[in-house]
Amino acid sequence: MGRIVVISTGGTIASRWQGSGFAAEADGREVMATAPVPEGVTVELVDLFSVNSPRLTTAHQLTLLRTVHEVFADPGVDGIVVTHGTDTLEESAFLLDLHHHDPRSVVFTGSQRPMGTADGDGPGNLYDALLTAANTRGLGVLVAFAGRVHAARGTVKTEAVALDAFADPSKELLGKIGYGKVTMLRAPQRSAPLPLPAMPEVPPRVDMVMHHADGDAVLLNAAVEAGARGIVLIGTGAGNATPEIADAVRAAVARGVLVALTTRVMAGPVTEIYTQGGAVDLVAAGAVPMGTLRAGQARIAVLSALLASGGVEERTRVLRGTLDVGGAVLVDA
C-alpha cells in the first residue's frame, strides 16, 4: 500500500516507568517494534526526539514541521505518521495542518497507556495510523486514535485518561478504522496553507489568559509587559469578559499585540451577542474571534500569524485567514 515514514517524538507511547511515574524514554525503533505493520506497508523511521509532550517547545514543533516538509521532498514517500504525546498533540497537529500543502497525509497518533503494558493502546493506534497514512490523500493532517480518524482542525483532547481521548466537540466524526479498512465519513474543512516559516532565533511569546468570575485585567496586562506578541483570551460563554478586559485588549492591540478570542466552553463558536465587556466589545477592541478553535489551537494560529512576514496588519490578516475554510469564515454562528 505504500512507503510510510514514521517520525517519533516521544509521549506516553514511548514512556517507561521511572520509579515515581512514567516518562518518555524509548526511541522510535523501540516504539515501532511494539506494533504490527499493515500488509503492503513499508516503514522508515526518523527518530526526531523523545520528550513528554507537556515539555514541548515552539522550537520542537517548528523542527517537526520542517522535518515533515523535508521528508515529503522525496516523491517516493506515500505518507507520514507522527508518534506524539497526547497532551499537546492537538497543537502540533494543527500547526502542521496550517502549513501543509501536500496531498499526502500526515497522521498523528499516540497512546494513553505506556508502552509494555498488557492493556496498552499504543500498538493498535500505531497500526491504525500507518493504515490511514497509506490509504488517504488530500485530507491534510489527521489524528488516528482509538479506531477513529479526526481532522487536525478542531480536534482536542477530551478525555484525560480514557482510551478514546480525542474528538472535535463542534463537528461530526471524520472517519473510522476497523477490520483493516479506513472509512471516511466527511471531508475536513481546511484553510489555505501558509508558507513554511523561518526558524526564529527566539520564537514569539504567545500567552493564554482565561476569564472567570472576579476576573480582571491583571494577567492580560502582565503578559503584555512580559513581552507577549500574541495573547489568547479565553472568555466565558460565547466569548465574553468585562469592560475592564475590553479596555486592556484595546491597549494591547494598540501596542501591536495580536489578540485572539476563544471560549472556555467545550463546543460552539465565539459569537458577538453581548456588550458590556462581551464579545461585541472585545471584537470592537481589536480581538480576533476564533470561531470553534479552542485555546491551544487558537494559540497555534496566533503563533503562525506572528511567524509570517509583514507588519501588524498583515499578521492580523493571516490570523483571520486561518479561519477561512472552504470559502466560509468560521467566526460567528
Question: Dihedral of the CA atoms 295, 327, 136, 307 (nearest 10)?
Answer: -50
CB atoms within 10 A of CB 145: 29
pLDDT of residue 332: 38
pTM for the full predicted model: 0.96
Give helix 312-321 / helix 295-307 axis angle, nearest 10°. 140
Position 325 scores a pLDDT of 83
Catalytic residue among 9, 12, 88, 322: 12
Residue 58 a catalytic site member = no
Per the CB < 8 A criterion, the answer to whether 156 and 294 are in contact is yes
| Cα Rg of the chain, angstroms | 20
Each residue's pLDDT expressed in tens, for the chain with a length of 333 residues:
799 999 999 999 999 999 999 999 999 999 999 999 999 999 999 999 999 999 999 999 999 999 999 999 999 999 999 999 999 999 999 999 999 999 999 999 999 999 989 999 999 999 999 999 999 999 999 999 999 999 999 999 999 999 999 999 999 999 999 999 999 999 999 999 999 999 999 999 999 999 999 999 999 999 999 999 999 999 999 999 999 999 999 999 999 999 999 999 999 999 999 999 999 999 999 999 999 999 999 999 999 999 998 899 999 999 999 998 865 444 433
Contact (Cβ atoms closer than 8 angstroms) between residue 83 and residue 123: no
Structure confidence at residue 309 (pLDDT): 84
Q: Return d(Cα 38, Cα 29) in angstroms, integer.
A: 17
